[in-house]
Structures are given as structure tokens and as C-alpha cells.
Amino acid sequence: MYRCLLAIIFSLLLFTLDSNSQWEKANGGKELPDSTSIFSILTNGNSVIAGTKKGIYFSTNNGEDWVQKNNGLDAQVEITALGMKGNLYFVGTVDGIYASSDNGDNWTESDDGINIQTIYCFLVNGSNIFVGSTGGVFISTNNGKDWLQKNQGIPEDESIYALTLKGNTIFAGTSVGVYASSNNGTNWSKKNFSEIVTSIVTNKNELYLSGEGYYTGIKVSTDNGSSWLEENNGFDVSKTTKYYLLSAGDSVYLGAQGLGVYVTNNKGKNWTQFSDGLSAYVQGNELMLASNDKYIFVGSKGASGYCNLWRRDRNETHIGVNDENEISGEFIKVAPNPVKDILHIKVNIPSEQIISLSISDVLGNNKVITNNELNIGENNVISIPVDNYSPGTYYITLSTTSGTISKVISIY
């Protein structure tokens, strides 16, 4: 009887887990109106900031409620980029930069040294703030009060669409390819890629980039940009012209205009459809992505008459990890998530031999939960105490003879 009760409780937990594993509207009803085009998204804990064609909207509860905060901004200004350093928020627009030190309640111009430029992206590296713009790269060392152009090595008048940091090296996606700087932008060197790059991210030891145009797709580099491989398995490059990449945890997410959202966590070898429940009208437009510990957010630049900001529970979705041997499916289920005391893990592998199940933190510290003790083709249920773990993000990893599968959990 006791075991039966436990099984029922666990099944209910898993049902709750699965029932939430799709996209849902995140515009809080009428506070962030439908048809509002989303040009950029930024998260800070449970706070979400949406940059739109009509200024800035703030939510402090993951998109449940929103407040428009345009004091100091032109009410019709187009927000093209968002950035954050400490308690400072920055917005990039089609005519410069604004900053707020009071959670967005007031905005002031913060672009001394930058002539009127469209701002495409922000990157913070230590005490330095970088922006990519139509006029190249600019850097501020005093929290945005002054800016200095840092384009040595980049052709004049080239636009900088994306910036990412890998170790101590900054990579810039430009209108003529990829450039890198290992001395905080003082000098830039060309990497082995010469097409337009509108999105570039770092995940583990890899660089991912995308551009514009049919058949462009995604390129991945494992050697700091010296060489690039096309990694487009899972989506049709002939049906989209615009991509947006997001690195979150062990995964890279892709917003592909006209196709929707995809995810990979095996260096782009396979991309898995991740658009369950997302409006087809939203998917048909250019997509922006952001994440925090709880949600993945997607914003659309179009879809008149429809909600253009959505969210999906990052920890409750089941991502099939496809390796060369095609391991995929919902092989690991966890509940509850987030977890405080006891974590329940359900493992069901149809054929591959299970090697181990482990838990690791974001620094890679690994602890084996069980080793060669799980059965093929059976519902293995394991409960482990986690109250002695520090709060944060962890990964449950199942290793089999054909590859690995990971699940993200949050301990609080």
C-alpha cells in the first residue's frame, strides 16, 4: 500500500512536470499589449526586460505582470539592444544609448563619445562595457559615462551585430565576418570566416554563429574560430533567412524565422524542435531569445494581433540529446523541480546499456549517484537527498553505451 501511494504521488509529480512542458504567453495580459514587437529581451533573476518598438517594459515576476518604464525615453523609440552591469541597465536604440540606475524608473543619455549610431549589442567584461554598433565597437570603462571607439584591425564603417566572450577573448560578429580580441578590444584580428554574422555565442568550448539569408544555417567552431563546421541537422536551411542564438547551461537554443525554436546540447550535431505550443504566427517572424534559471523566453518582431512574448519552463522540458547513435526521447524525468529536500529521478532506457547516473554543478564537480545498477527497459526510480547541496543549477547526467543525456535541475 505504501509503495502504491508513493507511485501515485510520483506519477502525479511527473504529470505536472510534463503538462507544463510547452510554450505559454508571457505578456501578463494587457500590461504588455498583444501586437507589441519585441526587439530585445534581458533577464535578471526573476526580472524580465522587454525592449520594444514603443520603449521598455519591466516584469519582476517572470512575465506575469508588466510596467512600462519610458521616463527619459522617447515613447516611440525602438529598443534595439539591452545590457546590464551591476545595478545599471542600458538600452541601445537607433540613435544612441540610455542608462538607468534605479531599475528603469528613469533613463538618461549615456553615449558621450558615440555619434548617433544604431546599437546592436552589449557585452560586459570585468569593469569594461562593450557595444556593437553601425560605427563598430565602442568601450566604456566608467559605467557608460564616456565611450571610446575600439576598431583597430576591423575595416572602417563595418557594423558589429554580436559580441561574445570565450575565456579572455572577445569575438565580434560583423558585416564581414568574425574578429577576435584578446586585449579588451585594443586590437582585433580576423578569424577564418568572411560572411555576415548577426549572432554569435559561446557554449563550453565551442563557438556558434549564424548570419542572414537562405541556406546560411549554423556554423560551429571547436578551435576558437580557426575552422568552422556546418551543423544544421534537424531543420531546413532553405526555409529561413534569419537566426538568433542563445547559450544557456549545457544547451544552445536557436530562434529560426519561419521555423520556430530548436535546441542542441551536442555541439550542434543535431537540433531538436522546441516549439510545442508556440503560436505559428509568432514563429513566422524574426525571433529573440533570453533565459534565466526558470524560463526560456522568446520574443517576436511581428505577428500583428497576437501575443509576441512567450515563455517555456526551462527545467521542466524534456530535451532529447541526439548523438551520432541517435539516443533521443524522454529517458529522464525529475520531480520536483526546483527541489529543496528530496529529488526523484525516473530513468527508462529501451535498449542501451546504462553506465552511470550522476549529478554535477556548473563548475563540473561531479558525483556518481549510481553505477551499473540500473536496468534496461524498466522504470528505474531513484530518490536522492539534496538538502546538503548548495543552492544553484545542477545537471543530472545519464551515461549509456551510446552517449549521454542531461537534465537541468535547480536546488534552492
Average pLDDT over residues 60-79: 90
pTM of the shown model = 0.74
Distances (CA, A) of 260 to 21, 89, 173, 236, 286: 16, 29, 23, 11, 9
The fourth-level CATH superfamily of domain 24-313 is YVTN repeat-like/Quinoprotein amine dehydrogenase (2.130.10.10)
pLDDT of residue 84: 97
How many CB atoms are closer than 10 A to CB 50? Answer: 29
Confidence band for 234, pLDDT divided at 50, 70 and 90: confident
Beta-bridge partners for 32: none
CA–CA gap between residue 72 and residue 107 (Å, rounded) = 5
Q: Quick check: 256 pLDDT over 80?
A: yes
Note the pLDDT tens digit of each residue in 22-53.
Answer: 899 999 877 898 889 999 999 999 999 999 98
Residue 379 confidence (pLDDT): 63
Average pLDDT over all residues of the chain = 85
How many residues does this entry show for the chain? 412
3-class secondary structure per residue, the chain: CHHHHHHHHHHHHHHHHHHCCCCEECCCCCCCCCCCCEEEEEEECCEEEEEECCEEEEECCCCCCCEECCCCCCCCCCEEEEEEECCEEEEEECCEEEEECCCCCCCEECCECCCCCCEEEEEEECCEEEEEECCEEEEECCCCCECEECCCCCCCCCCEEEEEEECCEEEEEECCEEEEECCCCCCCEECCCCCCCCEEEEECCEEEEECECCCCCEEEECCCCCCCEECCCCCCHHHCCEEEEEEECCEEEEEECCCEEEEECCCCCCCEECCCCCCHHHHCCCEEEEECCCEEEEEECCCCCCCCEEEEECCCCCCCCCCCCCCCCCCEEEECCCECCEEEEEECCCCCCEEEEEEEECCCCEEEEEECCCCCCCCEEEEEECCCCCCEEEEEEEEECCEEEEEEEEEC
When pLDDT is averaged across residues 116-130 and rounded to a whole number, the result is 94
Candidates 2.60.40.3080, 3.10.180.10, 3.10.20.30, 3.50.50.60; CATH matching 321-411: 2.60.40.3080
pLDDT computed for residue 21 by the predictor: 62
Least confident of 57-61, 201-205, 319-323: 319-323
Fold match flag (24-313 vs 321-411): no
Of residues 330 and 14, more confidently modeled: 330
Q: Which of 122, 140, 141, 143 is nearest to 132 (CA)?
A: 122
- pLDDT tens, 323-380? 333 333 457 778 887 788 888 888 877 666 777 888 988 777 888 877 666 766 656 7
> Binning pLDDT at 50, 70 and 90, where does residue 321 land?
very low
Q: Where are the domains of the chain?
A: 24-313, 321-411
pLDDT score at 391 = 86
